[in-house]
Amino acid sequence: MIDERLKANFYIAFEAILGNKMRSLLTALGIIFGVAAVIAMLAIGNGAQQEILEQIRLVGVNNIVIAPIVEQVDEQVDENSDLEKERGRFSPGMSLMDVEAIQNTIPGIKKISPEVVFDTHIVKGGIRRSAKLVGVTPQYFDVLDFKLNEGKMFTENNLIKGDPVCIIGRSIQTRFFSKENPIGKKIKSGNQWLEIIGIMEDRKVSEQSISKLGIRDFNMDVYIPIQSMLVRYKNRNLVTTADLRDSENGNESRGNYHQIDKLVVQVEESGLLNPTAEVIAKLLERKHYGVVDFEITIPEMLLKQQQKTQNIFNIVLGAIAGISLLVGGIGIMNIMLASVMERIKEIGLRLSLGAKKSDIVNQFLFEAIMISVSGGLIGVILGIVLANVVSSLGDFPTIITFSSIFVSFGVAAAVGLVFGIAPARRAANQDPIDSLRYE
């Protein structure tokens, strides 16, 4: 019996909504845009979070990055000043000797990876393409979590001998070896022929990561043993005839005198990042005779701070979108209260024919819930569309999760229930006789 009464009340509520389609749609607009805003905002926030996590993965975990300072800015200073005295000092620059000193002196270091980078051209089969030639050790791939898709890693023998072998990025394979397996083949880099022994896995790097973190497109890199780079290409630690000629001519400009272009130190624990960086700075300053021609950064710390800021931003976005749902609920309550005043005679007639107060309450509650649920469904679809539009037009990653859809839709349904109670009770408390006399 109860089920039949509920079905009848539901059917009456459904007919009332169909009889006022435009009003029902306008009532649901607040819920529609509120749900769409929640889903779209959370998708943008999740995309930003994923971007930050990807950046952390690209720079590695618990890493300290040391980069040489190449260009020195000339300033007019007093000859007796400390700055002028510092300029008179000579620094050997960052070198493999620094790598050895850090590794043997400072505790708590897990891995250390020096890197030498040269601009080069790759030539094969009449095709010429600019690329980066990167001299590294096998630890480089562990520190940055790089994986081989095919082939093998450098061996100790390759490092000691400076063998002409290389590991190529995925884009190099695509451009030069689209129809053949490159393993065992040779490719010309600069004036050297290199044997390919491995192929890197594809590394997807967004434009944001490239601009914010200075990360290059790893897929266009050619990796060789660092000793091969120093022996077969250029070792900036060696004094050349040109350097001697410049010295004789009184030209004191040394250009880039650093043997290595980057040094990544991975520590065992996150808590050791700051103290280890401070010790490294003091050690390098001492080895460089007091000349600070290097800079130390901790990318993970910067990115974690950025992630914290993003979390606060996501909460603010969610709160703003949640306010839209609240406004939508208030709109439902206002329209339902107006609907009660319009249908006083209908309510009186139903009560006089034997309908209970619970039937009237259910009828108006069903109306409010159906409006909010239907608005929630439309809002979910609109939110997914908006998130995809933002992703395609703004070249920005958006991630739509089931939890965001579930929460926004659940809140929309709850809003209809909560804000529909007051109008439903007001309708049920109408006096049947007064309602039938109402004009």
Q: pTM value?
A: 0.58
- pLDDT band at 223, cuts 50/70/90? very high
Please provide the average confidence, as pLDDT, over all residues in the chain. Answer: 76
Between CA 366 and CA 237 the distance in angstroms is 81
Residues in Cβ contact with 419 at an 8 Å cutoff, skipping those fewer than 6 apart: 329, 330, 332, 333, 336, 368
Predicted confidence band of residue 74 (pLDDT cuts 50, 70, 90): very low
pLDDT digits (tens, 9 = 90+) for 209-219: 544 555 567 78
Give the pLDDT confidence score for residue 33 in this predicted structure: 81
Reduced DSSP (H G I as helix, E B as strand, rest coil) percent helix, strand, coil of the chain, to 5: 60, 15, 25
Q: What is the pLDDT of residues 92-115, one digit of tens each?
A: 888 889 999 998 888 888 889 899
What mean pLDDT is predicted for residues 79-88? 49
pLDDT tens, 16-30? 777 777 777 777 787
pLDDT at 367: 78
Alpha helices in 190-272 (DSSP H): 207-213, 226-232, 241-248
User: Alpha carbon of 117 to those of 53, 230, 238, 260, 387: distances in Å?
Assistant: 26, 11, 17, 8, 39
Contact 163, 228 (CB under 8 A): yes
Q: Quickly state the pLDDT bin for 197 (edges 50, 70, 90).
A: very high
Q: What is the pLDDT of residue 280?
A: 92
**DSSP assigned state of 137:** -
pLDDT, residue 84, reads: 45
